Structure 1
Amino acid sequence: MPVFLKIAPDLIADEIGMIVEASLAHRIDGLIVSNTTLERPETLRSPDAHETGGLSGAPIRPFAEKALRAAAEAAQGRLPLIAVGGIDSGAEAYARIRLGASAVQVYSALIYDGPGLITRIKRDLAARLRADGFSSISAAIGASR
């Protein structure tokens, strides 16, 4: 059975690098990048913006992207990466794949957009791959690194 380790976006690049190396040494099958954050971006406008606990969805996108970049740089293709955090469109899924993700996980956006979101993401992702001349997702993995 495959085992994936989910990491926080609050880690610095050196910590993520150590996790990548430990994951390889202990034969973890892949990393899920990233979990919720404890950070509270200044852009939050909700009356609940200062609540404690893990923040997810679109507000964590910059943190998740930064963690994915660090993981992709450290892994250098040696470990599959699953991107999580603020993925709500085919454009966002494609951007994460180009940063180094082998797959994406969608969760919070489903609450707001419903299950039809998956079809829209897949359709848009396929169109973006074709437009950039990629024959498959695997060909696009890490293309922006």
Structure 2
Amino acid sequence: MEVNEHFCRKLKEHYLLRNSYISLERVDIPFTYYKNAQHDFHSFLNIYMILGEVHAKKRPNGIEKSYNDLLTKKSETITYADSKTISAYNSKVTIYNQYENIKTKVADEDELKFYIDNFSDLKDRIRIEFSKRIIS
């Protein structure tokens, strides 16, 4: 919160934004876990399940969801939210395969190659994002 308040203060000091109203609606904190090459995102399924069980006990009104590839049945994204409706969360944790995530968002193979060339460890990244809605 301290970092975000500092950020908002700096924005308000900018000459173009001096008379603007700035408020935070949510804070996202990303983490990257680098897995070794012999594992894939799905290798950690037991850990995701344990986290899901803990989350369900601590947040009985929450939700634990997995987004899977239909044909391989392998998880690509895991979400734990404190609300049954993911979009209505106050706090949420999302864990995903960063390579697969980018692969689904790029326009073509050339763009994907650009990312792989510039981020050689992309296929070894698991992204963990904590998101908290700020209630003012």
TM-score (normalizing by structure 1): 0.28
Q: Greater relative contact order: 1 or 2 (C-alpha under 8 angstroms, separation 6 or more)?
A: 2
* Higher normalized helix content (fraction of residues): 1
Instruction: Give the greater-gyration-radius structure (CA).
Output: 2
* Higher normalized strand content (fraction of residues): 2
TM-score (normalizing by structure 2): 0.29
